Structure 1
Amino acid sequence: MAKKRAMTPVESERVNTIKTNARRLNVSVENLADELGYTDAHVFGVFTGRYTSERTETVLSEAETYLAKELGVRYVQPYFGDLPK
């Protein structure tokens, strides 16, 4: 099992933004993983810092692109903690 690393503040905020927008669309993390072609465990691992920065960047970018498309916006705007979790 890969050792967890400390996520950067930007990565953590991106994860929070993805989770918030997924909730807005009533999309579970499991459904998001399925849409992106990953396992649930892989996406949960990315969300908790289990993978490298490069792998994390790839999955977060794919999730943001998917959510932006589903929301009908150009990009997913970060919230910087101003919405309840």
Structure 2
Amino acid sequence: MPRPNVWRDSAETTRLWVFDALAGFPLILMLLHLRWWTFGVAVTCFVVFGVLERMGYSVRFALRRLRAIAGGSVKLGQPWWGKRQERL
């Protein structure tokens, strides 16, 4: 009899009830700073992330997409071989 694979579901998205666990981050902030506006922000984030998941997007994808949009289309960088060498 083969033994069960305990790592089978390790790549699954972590859930907090029906929401993605990353959507619970505003809930933690609300618990640290108890005000009505933080409660409103937490509920709004839960609703927005819930709608995104209904549309088929994960919270990770939505945050990466937001970062890409905020960063713009031009990415500045310099390869390591093109950098100026410092003398010791």
Larger Rg: 1 or 2? 2
| TM-score using structure 1 length | 0.34
| TM-score using structure 2 length | 0.33
Q: Greater relative contact order: 1 or 2 (C-alpha under 8 angstroms, separation 6 or more)?
A: 1
**More strand per residue:** 2
**More helix per residue:** 1
